[in-house]
Amino acid sequence: MKPSNNLHSAHSPALDERSLALRRTMLDMMIAGGRGHLPSGLSLVEILRVLYDDILRVRPSEPHWPQRDRCILSKGHGCLALYAILADKGFFPTQELQTFCHFDSRLGGHPEVITPGVEASTGSLGHGLPLGVGLSLAARMKRQSRQHFIVMGDGELNEGSIWEAAMCASKHALSNLTAIVDYNKLQSYGPVSVVQEIEPLADKWRSFGFAVDEVDGHDVNALRIKLKALPYDSHRPSVLICHTIKGKGVSFMEHEPSWHHKSRLDDALIQRLRDELQPA
């Protein structure tokens, strides 16, 4: 079995102004809150951007609309990206982003369902896919056409509950369920390949009965094509493995495990971060 190809390369498109603007918003939130998992969010931006811009059937003014598609950010520590997107789409006022991690804020360090647009309280890893299986089964029983997208981290795949849920999804042929893996190849304290190797990743998902595809997770056009092609099989659940870079967009943060979570940023470091996220 061959390992998944790293589809991200030097030829990956440069970040456009929308992606940079979302990253600047995330940085402002982290500064306002005094903490955050910024690099974990930076690897997610394009994935969530394409989902909310082009794929998900949602109504920001009616966040509990019964027929909406569901998107669960299972790797809840990447919530800076989710909050930035939800505010951008109009689920709540953009001014509220400045309350990130403040006392009594709806925007905590991990997502909670009190936040408009958040479908599940996550952060304890391994729960998103099981929830997605339940939601997908319920939709089938109710004859609803909604789709379910579960965004997971690669380190999260160490959790056994992921693979129990994968077996269940395959058994029930849940073609209305898509797993999306943010494969940035780093987890909190080191490379995934060192902490707990997950390759051959694509073959693992195939062996659990999923239809599999892979993509450069920072290539907006490629993501749009892959996500619009779902489901990849009308009788199986799907998984899209997104090859990403943790800390994407900040040169000194990329591939650097020590940046996983930060709670102190001095003025000089803040300025360096701002400089990195300006248009070329």
Q: What is the mean pLDDT of residues 213-217?
A: 97
Q: What is the pTM of this model?
A: 0.95
Burial 2-33 (b: 16+ CB within 10 A, else e): eebeebbeeebeebeeebbebbbbbbbbbbbb
The set of residues, in sequence order, having a beta carbon less than 8 Å from that of 117 and lying 6+ positions away, is 58, 60, 63, 82, 86, 89, 91, 92
Residue 182 located in a structural domain: yes
Is 130 in contact with 163 (CB distance < 8 Å)? no
Phi, psi of 177 (to 5 degrees): -120, 130
Count of structural domains within the chain: 1
For 125, the token pair is: 């890893």
Q: Which residue type does 32 have? A: A
CATH code of the domain in which 41 resides: 3.40.50.970
Tell me the mean pLDDT in the region 216-239: 98
**Helix H or strand E segment including 149:** strand 148-153
| Residue 7 lies inside a defined structural domain of this protein | no
What does the pLDDT look like over 49-75, one tens digit per residue?
A: 999 999 999 999 999 999 999 999 999
Helix axes 128-141, 160-171, angle to 10 degrees: 20
In-domain check, residue 97? yes
Query: Can you tell me the mean pLDDT for 227-249?
Result: 97
Residue 5 in any domain: the answer is: no
225-249: average pLDDT: 97
At 9 the pLDDT is: 52
Give 12's DSSP letter: S
In a domain, 9, yes or no: no
Q: Are 107 and 26 spatial neighbours (Cβ–Cβ below 8 Å)?
A: no
pLDDT of residue 189: 84
Does 3 have pLDDT greater than 50? no
Residue 122 belongs to a domain: yes
How is the beta sheet containing 238-243 ordered, strand by strand? 70-73, 148-153, 177-183, 238-243, 211-216
Domain that includes residue 118, residue range:
17-276
3-state secondary structure of 261: coil
Asked if the bond preceding 231 is cis, omega within 30° of 0, the reply is yes
Let me know: does 240 contact 147? Beta carbons within 8 Å.
Answer: no
Q: Is residue 139 part of a domain?
A: yes
Q: Is residue 268 part of a domain?
A: yes
Residue 104 backbone dihedrals phi, psi, to 5 degrees: 70, 10
Report how far residue 74's alpha carbon sits from residue 159's, in angstroms, rounded to the nearest whole number: 12
Angle at which helix 267-276 crosses helix 17-33, to 10 degrees, equals 160
